[in-house]
Structure 1
């Protein structure tokens, strides 16, 4: 936003009117958010091993007190339920870590508690992230019986050398076996692949992607390998032992990915996510469309009625907080209008559909030109376009999204 928004003289009639208008817009925004279905995220922080590219809140522990974790997660959920009465539930997402390591009884108890507290909207989408090991695949039937109807499988590659490089515990045969079991157990299946790996040519990725599309899943999450701070890959890259494709090569792979998936009927609906029409992840769309979501478990974030909520990150600290306070919250921070507008734009412009920039501006008590540099938008017609109230990044612009956003979002 322009700085002029922060220096209005509140003693003037015009300022009072602007303040009243902003208050009214905020009230309308709160009402709209309260009416929208709520998304629930539940974090299981444990993994069998830590992958070298992973900067998620995941931890390796020799043993896990499953009964204690069952009770603590239910208590943390109950705290959010008490603060969000009367809401409708649109989706549940079990993330991690490796949630397929959770006891199915704990999964079932959390689903039952959430759907009892918040009225489900239609067929609530209930997703669980899973590793494609044969041990975890053997539990898929029990997880489905617990109420999970969508699984997101971390295949990550369809090449054994690549899987070893990525530190994965499974090979291609085991991964595809788990995929076959998942397709029998769950109504909806997605899986992840990582591309732009060292030495990966367009021809190699094209063949791997064609194979991935042949399995007939409704959704694919296709991520470029990035070097995240604090990971083992970051250490390797700093020492000069790891180099990923440069920007031009990565852009070629990105364009190939979008063309291949679109031709197969799974166009990109978000910068890294591809789905058949109607099979998009409803839970993730709640994030990208900037809806309210409750976050439960270690390190979970949430957006609750214009508050940013943060849970304690380390599993042991979170457990201690739940035992002491009845919840694992570390902080709740109010989100002012400027922050909400910025977050809504930064999240929504990841989507192919773009954002209703007029609605976002109104919710923040601002004018469109105060939150978006329309002159900059007009100067980049091949990369970002304004069509009526909607602002969206073009296919050509998506690969440059990180560079475009600072130019157009005030």
Structure 2
């Protein structure tokens, strides 16, 4: 991908977390609950009030993206999505046609829902396909088949040209050949964006318990690295090069503006149970974390005006370290001067030179970024170049 994503100078997004799922996947460690048959009206009202509560204390922000994540926000009523979009636009002036993403599962895709989401104001879909292999889908605890996933992708693209699909690879026993065949099948669907994640065993998940009981053995690090390298090669060859460690886009226009907000040190509101936000406040860069349990979140919004359970400000050094660690994940990298100003000290010149000589790091026009070779050790390199 040539050039840089066309982005505003200041990125400010809203992440809305919908905590309910029809089924909780064995790899998931997000704050989610079984949907069952619930009255969600109190939660919906709290989410709207939470946005308004934050807006009252924030001025001068221009909204650049809105992201409905979860959980499974495609279970929400389209009328609620519309209310959130309208409320956000009233409270924060939108930066033109902002990116509005909805996460959805393939089994939730119907012509009627697609039309309703579009009418509500959604303009980008993120489909949780996760695999295009039926055995893998059963292993991952998904509710759809590979055939249903393919049909859902086609239907989504008919209404939302800006559709992304998620896939999970580096599954137990997965060979390079098998993965590249599956990835090639996904690429042939023509979506302009792919999010490709290596299977990670998170603590307190069903998979963690299965690994502990030796029900399966995760793929080794070397095998994962080989799969990653081949993934980068095939996606680039097929016109969807990586613009971030795990994300691929056909062109700058299809890079996820909201996710770039995370990687490029922007600000975002974390709305909904357990959601995390980042804001630049008088005390410095500040993390907000909402109450996790739905009843606690609703009570917090009613009593305090926002759902925040805790906030903590980062020191200048902590904020700079965060900017480096996240920024090196994307092709854009980090601005060296601004990072060093926050650190109050220069980055490790000897390490920068060493990683540059090894072909893992680039420094151009005052920005430091990693090559694809460097992405294999992104977190390690970030730690090494910090003073």
TM-score w.r.t. length of structure 1: 0.88
Whole-angstrom CA distance in 2 between matches of 1:397 and 1:137: 43
Alpha carbons 1:77, 1:296 under 8 Å: kept: yes
Deviates most, 261-270 or 180-189:
180-189
2:202 matched residue in structure 1: 228
SS in structure 2 of the partner of residue 127 of structure 1: strand
Deviates most, 205-214 or 313-322:
313-322
Does 2:352 align with 1:373?
no
1:117 matched residue in structure 2: 91
The change in CA–CA distance for 1:379 and 1:315 in structure 2 (over 3 A counts) is same
Alpha carbons 1:151, 1:188 under 8 Å: kept: yes
The change in CA–CA distance for 1:212 and 1:239 in structure 2 (over 3 A counts) is same
Does 2:322 align with 1:350?
no
Q: 1:307 aligns with which of 286, 302, 306?
A: 286
The change in CA–CA distance for 1:332 and 1:35 in structure 2 (over 3 A counts) is farther
CA-CA distance at 1:187 after TM superposition: 3.5
Alpha carbons 1:93, 1:283 under 8 Å: kept: yes
CA-CA distance at 1:61 after TM superposition: 3.8
Alpha carbons 1:378, 1:385 under 8 Å: kept: no
Q: 2:133 aligns with which of 153, 156, 159?
A: 159
Whole-angstrom CA distance in 2 between matches of 1:303 and 1:406: 21
The change in CA–CA distance for 1:135 and 1:179 in structure 2 (over 3 A counts) is closer
Alpha carbons 2:325, 2:379 under 8 Å: kept: no
Does 2:75 align with 1:98?
no
- CA deviations over 1:179-218 (Å, ceiling 9, x no partner): 1221122241000001111111111111111111111111
Alpha carbons 1:302, 1:309 under 8 Å: kept: yes
Whole-angstrom CA distance in 1 between matches of 2:11 and 2:87: 17
Show the 5 A alignment for 1:73-152.
73-134=47-108, 138-152=112-126
Aligned length in residues: 373
Whole-angstrom CA distance in 1 between matches of 2:12 and 2:364: 29
Q: 1:184 aligns with which of 140, 147, 158?
A: 158
2:143 matched residue in structure 1: 169
Show the 5 A alignment for 1:244-259.
244-259=218-233
Whole-angstrom CA distance in 1 between matches of 2:30 and 2:113: 24
TM-score w.r.t. length of structure 2: 0.93
SS in structure 2 of the partner of residue 298 of structure 1: coil
Show the 5 A alignment for 1:194-273.
194-273=168-247
Whole-angstrom CA distance in 1 between matches of 2:113 and 2:370: 41
SS in structure 2 of the partner of residue 85 of structure 1: coil
Alpha carbons 2:170, 2:219 under 8 Å: kept: yes
1:391 matched residue in structure 2: 368
CA-CA distance at 1:136 after TM superposition: 6.1
The change in CA–CA distance for 1:256 and 1:85 in structure 2 (over 3 A counts) is same
2:268 matched residue in structure 1: 293
Gap regions ≥5 residues in structure 2: 1-7
- CA deviations over 1:278-305 (Å, ceiling 9, x no partner): 2100011011000111111111111112
Deviates most, 291-300 or 236-245:
236-245
Show the 5 A alignment for 1:320-359.
320-359=299-338
Aligned-residue CA RMSD in angstroms? 1.6
CA-CA distance at 1:98 after TM superposition: 0.4
CA-CA distance at 1:137 after TM superposition: 6.4
The change in CA–CA distance for 1:135 and 1:275 in structure 2 (over 3 A counts) is closer
Whole-angstrom CA distance in 1 between matches of 2:327 and 2:151: 36
1:23 matched residue in structure 2: none
- CA deviations over 1:194-247 (Å, ceiling 9, x no partner): 111111111111111111111111100000011111111111111222212211
Whole-angstrom CA distance in 1 between matches of 2:302 and 2:39: 14
Alpha carbons 1:100, 1:136 under 8 Å: kept: no
- CA deviations over 1:122-170 (Å, ceiling 9, x no partner): 2100001111104666522211110000000000000000000000011
Deviates most, 380-389 or 106-115:
380-389
SS in structure 1 of the partner of residue 34 of structure 2: coil
CA-CA distance at 1:41 after TM superposition: 0.7
Whole-angstrom CA distance in 1 between matches of 2:302 and 2:143: 34
